[in-house]
């Protein structure tokens, strides 16, 4: 998948920590609810960096939900392994988002994070807007964990820009900060524009 493309429907078996039960989740159903969707791939359950990432993401899950975002963590483990890991790893106590099972690697391959040499997924974070378009993509190697605070920033920017398509968010932009309106007047004058109080 490339940023800007419409994501085809996919379905995953999940372990739902909220209910403690198994289920299924599909992109199509989430888009019908006009949800933003974050797919959060990680290599494997019962590993080392992975629980720290999911714990970090869990701290931001309620904030993301208030923004209209659903998060699905995904690895090539089965739903049964997700359940066992969630029950045994104390770092996952606050994880409430659906944990997707992709044992065949089908969904991981769709997003280009499947590692054929290991049968695992790389650390990929993908943002899909309510129209089903991929608007954010980040892939890290196995040994580098992600920061959920940056995901919040990206979500704030993407949500804002969906209703303000003529604007652009500069580096480190956060909700309520100045944006830019690209035009011939702005060429070579970004510093001056950002220095003024009003939005550009």
Tokens 């040994």 correspond to 143
Set 50, 127, 151, 169: catalytic member: 50
Backbone angles phi, psi at 120, to 5 degrees: -110, 165
Residue 169 is a catalytic residue: no
Residue 177 token pair = 């900060």
Place of tokens 């892939």: 139
Q: How many helices (H) and strands (E) does the chain have?
A: 6, 9
If one counts every other C-beta atom within 10 angstroms of the C-beta of residue 191, the result is 7
Q: Which residues of 46-85 are buried (b: 16+ CB within 10 A; e: fewer)?
A: ebebbbebbbbbbebbeebeeeebbbbbbbbbebebbbeb
- Residues designated as active site: 50
């Amino acid at each position: 998948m490339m940023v800007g493309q419409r994501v085809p429907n996919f379905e995953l078996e999940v372990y739902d920590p909220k209910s403690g039960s198994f289920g299924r989740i599909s992109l199509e159903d989430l888009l019908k609810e006009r949800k933003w969707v974050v797919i959060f791939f990680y290599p494997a359950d019962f590993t080392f960096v992975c629980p720290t990432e999911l714990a970090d993401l869990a701290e931001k899950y309620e904030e993301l939900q208030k923004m209209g975002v659903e998060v699905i963590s995904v690895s090539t483990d089965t739903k049964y392994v997700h359940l066992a890991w969630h029950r045994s790893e104390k770092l996952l106590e606050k994880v409430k988002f659906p944990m997707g099972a992709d044992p065949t690697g089908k969904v991981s391959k769709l997003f280009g994070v499947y590692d054929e040499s290991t049968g695992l997924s790389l650390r990929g974070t993908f943002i899909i807007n309510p129209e089903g378009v991929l608007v954010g993509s980040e892939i890290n190697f196995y040994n580098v964990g992600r920061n959920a605070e940056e995901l919040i920033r990206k979500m704030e920017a993407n949500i804002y820009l969906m209703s303000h398509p003529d604007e652009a968010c500069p580096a480190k932009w956060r909700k309520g900060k100045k944006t830019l309106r690209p035009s011939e007047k702005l060429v070579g004058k970004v510093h001056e524009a950002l220095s003024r109080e009003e939005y550009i």
